[in-house]
Structure 1
Amino acid sequence: MDAKYEQRKKMIYDFMCDDMYVPMKIKELAIVLGVKKDQRPQLEQILNELMTEGRIVCSKRGKFSKSEEKKITGTFQAHPKGFGFVSVEGEKEDIFIPESETNGAMHMDTVEISVSPAVTGRRREGKVLHVLERGMKQVVCTYQLNKNFGFAVPDNPKFGSDIFIPLERSKGAVNGHKVVVEITQYGKKGKNPEGKVVEILGHINDPGVDILSIVRAYGLPVEFDPKVMTQVEHVAKPVSEADMAGRMDLRDWQMVTIDGEDAKDLDDAVSLTMDHENYILGVHIADVSNYVQEHSALDTEALKRGTSVYLVDRVIPMLPHALSNGICSLNQGEERLALSCIMTVNPKGEIIDHTITESVICVDRRMTYTNVKKILADHDPEVMAEYEPLVPMFEKMAELAAILRKKRMKRGSIDFDFPETKVILDKNGNPVDIRPYDRNVATKLIEDFMLAANETVAAEYYWRELPFVYRTHEQPDSEKIQKLSTFINNFGYSLHIGSDEVHPKELQKLLEKIDGTSEEPLISRLTLRSMKQARYTVENTGHFGLAADCYCHFTSPIRRYPDLQIHRIIKDSLRGRLGEKRIGHYTQILPEVAKHASEMERRADEAERETIKLKKVQYMENHIGETFAGVISGVAEYGFFVELENTVEGLVRVTSLTDDFYQYYEETYELVGEATNRRFKLGQQVRVTVDNCDRIMRTIDFTLADSDEN
């Protein structure tokens, strides 16, 4: 359209936005606006466009008026560059807030916004009307001292501005101290927020202070209340004969725990025997609910925490160590209370029978993933001799795990095999090595058995129509799947999409087809990005990624509250206590339990990622100027990310590519040189040199190595 047309359109819309405007029919509008008869079709076209864009509406009587702005409440997510997004519960897309329309809102504030009826870009746009509640009342900062006052620089770049600290409210902090600042005034345009130091974490260079700063920034509770610890003393007692009464006695069953070398909270044991051609698989889980009674101080604290948090240098447990590493840990040679899921599995991998029962167990050996791998994969004679009585059971376990996995894959379960990161620290918390976490035959074996138990328990309680907490994973967003489908067509692959939905088997087939190809890293990542996050819900909607009709988390009550919660439901059911009143109780509390647990899981995941990112930056600081081989893992208009073999990821900025002007093509995820047609795309192998590391922003900058610049 020409500029004059756009001017007329703007003029007509502005006219209708005027406070003095009264709704009019098209004839009246034409007269008032001075539109001639031959220009009437253009006026109609403009009005139709404005209606399509949602900026105006037409009443039943044919009168046109400006659309009323929709007012909604949500959480403001700030961006370091000043703009932000508001996430609204139940809404698929966040609403974009330009920097000029934030109205003093800060990161995580609850805000009321008005949403513009016009969709000018890819997202709806809005403006903040009111800040209803401040989200960040305390901020972790680095303290800077001036002569007569101090100021604190927030660790979180989303906070947006430094905080003024009067000298008398500094608590004696000095330059370089990591401090927790309580905000006393949130400031306004042209004036910084004010605050007071409430805690000094230590100097920025002191060992452990970097991780402690992240712990405080995410509000992770570390210490347990004295009331909780007093209760632990009373409940953490050896298993007595009275405790065992009425339980299935499995103490003479051959069973083991299989965990990492450094694991201390051993909450699952496994056993396997044969009944002719069928496998009798036992998954035995610590009966934590026996020690953590509902509504007790222990339970209240566990619910609040929601999950244990595994950071690079420490674990922040959901339950005190006296429980999680003590009476609730299935330690070798010690009698323990458990909830057992005993499954009869036929040679096809079908679970043809199962029993869920309260039990008492005694683990024969505490095994590690490393030693089980040495037995099953390496056939190490020394290790096989050490564990000789258990070797036949391990071999049968490997056989069954392969059968279960094959059956799961047949139905369409998706297995993303991206390497997790293991960071090795010295005694001062400095990273000395970073490597991919080893996922081997032993880790997969335990994974297969836990999945089987989780599905079996979930299906049992789903069909009994009792209140429960499920682990659900929704269908991917149809728009993202369509984009993925269009993109993979470039490589000769396709997805069968029916009724705007894709079956997980289609994605699994795709991953199988690309296995070992040069485009595998690229398509695998895009497939993962098209998926939604799993969460806890009271409705069973299935688990897309596992292609499971029913799924729950039953196997880790020491470290996940939903597991502990469903253990209570199972025990109430086994003991015949699930009457109308108890069912009503669970029906009432479980939605909030599921929602809170999902939120706490997100918080824990983010904190864990943040500590790993920080240690990766610290590690690469010692390698500035060195060159590494890597793979392009992300492409954007400002550059491309490269992942090294040790899982470290850094950015090659487009401004550092001086040989050409590079254009970003979103549909193919490529940067293309205008003159040279040189391309950088996902999955491409490159060599990069470490250029810069920023601890505050947790970023690593790479430049292309000399050999890759030509």
Structure 2
Amino acid sequence: MEKEILNNKKELLLQVITDRSYRPMKFRELSSLLQVPKDERDDLKIVMDSLISDGKIMLDGNGRYKETNGNIKTGIFSGTTRGFGFVKIEGEENEEDIFIPESETKGALNKDRVQIAIFEEQSGRRREGAVISILERNVTELVGTFQKSKNFGFVIADNTKFNSDVFIPKEHTKGAVNGHKVLVQLTDYGSETKNPEGKIIKIIGHINDPGVDVVSVILENGLPTEFPDEVMKQVERIGEEVSSADIGGRVDLRNLQTVTIDGEDAKDLDDAITLSKKGDIYQLGVHIADVSNYVTEDSPLDKEALKRGTSVYLVDRVIPMLPHKLSNGICSLNAGSDRLALSCMMEIDEKGNVVGHRIAETVINVDRRMTYTSVKKIIEDHDEAEIEEYKELVPMFELMLELADILREKRRKRGSIDFDFPESKIILDSDGRPTDIKPYERNKATKIIEDFMLIANETVAEDFFWQELPFVYRTHENPDLEKIQKLSVFINNFGYTMRIGQDEIHPKELQKLLIKIDGKPEEALISRLTLRSMKQAKYTTTCDGHFGLSTKYYSHFTSPIRRYPDLQIHRIIKENLRGGLKEKRINHYESILNEVARQSSLAERRADESEREVEKLKKVEYMSQFIGQTFEGVISGVTSWGMYVELPNTVEGMIRLADMHDDYYIYDEEHYLLTGEHTKKIYKLGEAVVIRVEDTDKLMRTINFSIVGRANRIEE
């Protein structure tokens, strides 16, 4: 439809709907009044939907179009297990979600696009609203557990935000039995009084079968597992080794002493390091796999990579952004093989300043494939056997440690925030069952690589910012002042303070706070609350700075095998190096990069959620063998319905207030305390306690504890 015609129809519709002489009308009535022919009514519907999206008109509870007031908004509904929900308003990414009471959801389901009316704000309380209409259903399939009745079945969704069981007519059960994990296609979304209805399109396996739990998460989150045929055909045409034609015209760095440093299990090695020192200047080379040489723009491989956005690292498998022939083969910087790279070669002084740099297309050949464990043994443990094994590389590792310390100190001085939460390392047996869970600690070797990747990412971002060329940046916005003020009030309870400006806080204040709490009982608690007070990082086409790193310039340049934004900016960098970024190509990139940034941010969220869900599943499965046993942990969260306790192995469980029978406990929201009404017993964040594992629920992905007593003081 022509834009001018569309706008004219919008104006006419607005006049009719806002005319006081007309009552609210349904679509058919409106079509008749405007004398719209039947073959043009689809176009009219598009205009109506557009006006709703703009907040100009609304659909009331009876499906009639009417004028809105200023409090009508459109957004995405997020459900909860307890019936209520939240709506993220479109165009208000930085604002708090709107709370929707259970009585006001109008049958909206998780991820639905809805129109809501926002209630009048009450001082000190979060905004509330009511769903007026459901504009778009965004979940067409879901994964759940099948339960059979005599004449029908129903499916309990794995996604706890989907709070309705799905009715399955007998003819659509596909032979599923109790306990089967199934993929359901929704055929009817139900209403406030009627359950959604669907049909089973795939039986994944029984809930207790090995691997079914992880496959269920993959399907639930819509993660692609197979590459399309046209992608694999393109891959087949790519050689196993680098050709002489590809090497032509590149800077040859094969004579430099070069290493990769990764985890033992890593197969996609996309960064290599060279380092030397001349006088007072360190010469650091960060060499990144030139994936863009093989994944050309707009090819089937490129389209699939953008759709995936990122590789997803689940506990027992990787869902790669690129097929293995690329990610583990020709693109992986495997030792002893010529490989194409995009290199950022930096000259860094003894204060950590990059005093010169060059970005170039190169060819490299890695001397040794190192692991974090080996490098740690050399530089931290001074292991004689390891030092002898890699004696020709030891001087470079010592130089790496020296430079990394300088870079980290420079970042510390400017206020960079370093959250050092231990990640979970989950050990599985051959059937995918967890045999051990322990914290995965960072060491000097992992920090060296982090430091070198950070300086390369900053250097590349600053270079292209000043060239004023289209680019994709990694942005971390300043936190909301209201959340920071709440954090400030809370830390006062522990005797800590921080300076807050009139309308912002400097990251250095948060950094100072983390340094003050280092090693204290309240460290984990305050660190978490500090992290929660900050915004999520995302990809943008504007260089808006990175709050957490306290830097104006930041991008993702170092992982094109597993992240699409890195691959995208490699193309821009190479085209610029070759002198091809003329006005036509600049306009091209300006037209596509916003969508690349948006899609990449969405894909990253999906991957993060999937990784968290699988981790939760495995932790629940692991703890199910310890029911009835006691452990010492730390109170990691306090809420109005209970408190969370984290064990030393990173597993977290909940103690429900309803199960604390020794007293009636009152929740103090401001101080994150639970106080016994009669005994005056207090439980607070960061406190060491002893718990008993009561039960686990793999379906809900929860672990329930009961309180035994405080650490070193078991209570009867």
Is the aligned partner of 1:629 residue 2:632? yes
Which of 209, 214, 219 is the matching residue for 1:211?
Answer: 214
Displacement of 1:121 after TM fit? 6.9
**Contact 2:240 2:329 (8 Å CA) reproduced:** no
Deviations 1:227-282 (A, max 9, x none): 10010111244211110111000011101000000000000000101112211000
Q: How many Å separate the matches in 2 of 1:490 and 1:628?
A: 28
Q: How many Å separate the matches in 2 of 1:635 and 1:487?
A: 13
Matched letter for residue 520 of structure 2:
T
Is the aligned partner of 1:265 residue 2:271? no
Is the aligned partner of 1:478 residue 2:466? no
**Contact 1:471 1:552 (8 Å CA) reproduced:** yes
**Contact 1:671 1:681 (8 Å CA) reproduced:** yes
**Contact 1:629 1:685 (8 Å CA) reproduced:** yes
Q: How many Å separate the matches in 1 of 2:408 and 2:192?
A: 59
Displacement of 1:67 after TM fit? 10
Displacement of 1:423 after TM fit? 0.5
Displacement of 1:117 after TM fit? 2.8
Is the aligned partner of 1:644 residue 2:647? yes
Partner of 2:604: 601
Partner of 1:103: 106
Deviations 1:454-491 (A, max 9, x none): 00000000011111100011111101111111222223
Partner of 1:84: 85
Partner of 2:700: 697
Any idea what SS the aligned residue of 1:571 has?
Answer: helix
Any idea what SS the aligned residue of 2:626 has?
Answer: coil
After the TM superposition, which residues 186-205 of structure 1 pair with which residues of structure 2 at under 5 Å, given as runs? 186-205=189-208
Deviations 1:62-90 (A, max 9, x none): xxxx9946222111111111111111123
Q: How many Å separate the matches in 1 of 2:219 and 2:355?
A: 49
Which of 184, 188, 197 is the matching residue for 1:185?
Answer: 188
Could you tell me the percent identity over the aligned residues?
A: 64
**Contact 2:546 2:554 (8 Å CA) reproduced:** yes
Q: How many Å separate the matches in 2 of 1:121 and 1:330?
A: 55
Q: How many Å separate the matches in 1 of 2:328 and 2:655?
A: 44
**Contact 1:163 1:193 (8 Å CA) reproduced:** yes
Q: How many Å separate the matches in 2 of 1:232 and 1:336?
A: 17
After the TM superposition, which residues 273-284 of structure 1 pair with which residues of structure 2 at under 5 Å, given as runs? 273-284=276-287
After the TM superposition, which residues 60-459 of structure 1 pair with which residues of structure 2 at under 5 Å, given as runs? 68=69, 70-91=71-92, 92-119=95-122, 122-459=125-462
Partner of 1:659: 662
Matched letter for residue 677 of structure 1:
K
Matched letter for residue 377 of structure 2:
K
After the TM superposition, which residues 489-568 of structure 1 pair with which residues of structure 2 at under 5 Å, given as runs? 489-568=492-571
Matched letter for residue 86 of structure 2:
F
**Contact 1:69 1:117 (8 Å CA) reproduced:** no
**Contact 1:458 1:551 (8 Å CA) reproduced:** yes
Displacement of 1:118 after TM fit? 4.2
**Contact 1:331 1:363 (8 Å CA) reproduced:** yes
Q: How many Å separate the matches in 2 of 1:701 and 1:399?
A: 46
**Contact 1:69 1:116 (8 Å CA) reproduced:** no
Matched letter for residue 426 of structure 2:
V
**Contact 1:419 1:436 (8 Å CA) reproduced:** yes
Deviates more, 1:546-555 or 1:519-528: 519-528
Any idea what SS the aligned residue of 1:512 has?
Answer: helix
Matched letter for residue 494 of structure 2:
F
Q: How many Å separate the matches in 2 of 1:103 and 1:120?
A: 26
TM-score by length of 2: 0.88
Deviations 1:665-687 (A, max 9, x none): 11111111222322111111111
In structure 2, do the counterparts of structure 1 residues 479 and 708 end up closer, same or farther at CA, with 3 Å as the change threshold?
farther
Q: RMSD between aligned alpha carbons?
A: 1.6
Q: How many Å separate the matches in 2 of 1:536 and 1:507?
A: 23
Displacement of 1:410 after TM fit? 0.8
Is the aligned partner of 1:590 residue 2:593? yes
**Contact 1:119 1:125 (8 Å CA) reproduced:** no
Deviates more, 1:410-419 or 1:676-685: 676-685
Any idea what SS the aligned residue of 1:389 has?
Answer: coil
**Contact 2:143 2:182 (8 Å CA) reproduced:** yes
Partner of 2:682: 679
Deviations 1:348-370 (A, max 9, x none): 11110001000000000000000
**Contact 1:280 1:345 (8 Å CA) reproduced:** yes
Matched letter for residue 605 of structure 2:
R
Q: How many Å separate the matches in 2 of 1:361 and 1:108?
A: 46
Any idea what SS the aligned residue of 1:485 has?
Answer: helix
TM superposition outliers: structure 1 runs of 4+ over 6 Å: none
TM-score by length of 1: 0.89
**Contact 2:250 2:363 (8 Å CA) reproduced:** yes
**Contact 1:236 1:326 (8 Å CA) reproduced:** no
Partner of 1:51: none
**Radius of gyration: which is bigger?**
1
Any idea what SS the aligned residue of 1:375 has?
Answer: helix
Q: How many Å separate the matches in 2 of 1:353 and 1:647?
A: 43
Q: How many Å separate the matches in 1 of 2:553 and 2:192?
A: 52
Q: Which runs of 5 or more structure 1 residues have no equivalent in the other structure?
A: 1-18, 21-65
Matched letter for residue 76 of structure 2:
T
Displacement of 1:120 after TM fit? 7.5
Q: How many Å separate the matches in 1 of 2:487 and 2:156?
A: 41
Q: How many Å separate the matches in 1 of 2:636 and 2:79?
A: 25
Any idea what SS the aligned residue of 2:456 has?
Answer: helix
In structure 2, do the counterparts of structure 1 residues 638 and 708 end up closer, same or farther at CA, with 3 Å as the change threshold?
farther
Q: How many Å separate the matches in 2 of 1:522 and 1:196?
A: 45
Q: How many Å separate the matches in 2 of 1:189 and 1:598?
A: 33
Deviations 1:118-143 (A, max 9, x none): 43872222221211111110010112
Is the aligned partner of 1:709 residue 2:715? yes
Q: How many Å separate the matches in 1 of 2:658 and 2:195?
A: 32
Any idea what SS the aligned residue of 2:356 has?
Answer: strand
Q: How many Å separate the matches in 2 of 1:264 and 1:597?
A: 23
Q: Which runs of 5 or more structure 2 residues have no equivalent in the other structure?
A: 1-19, 22-66
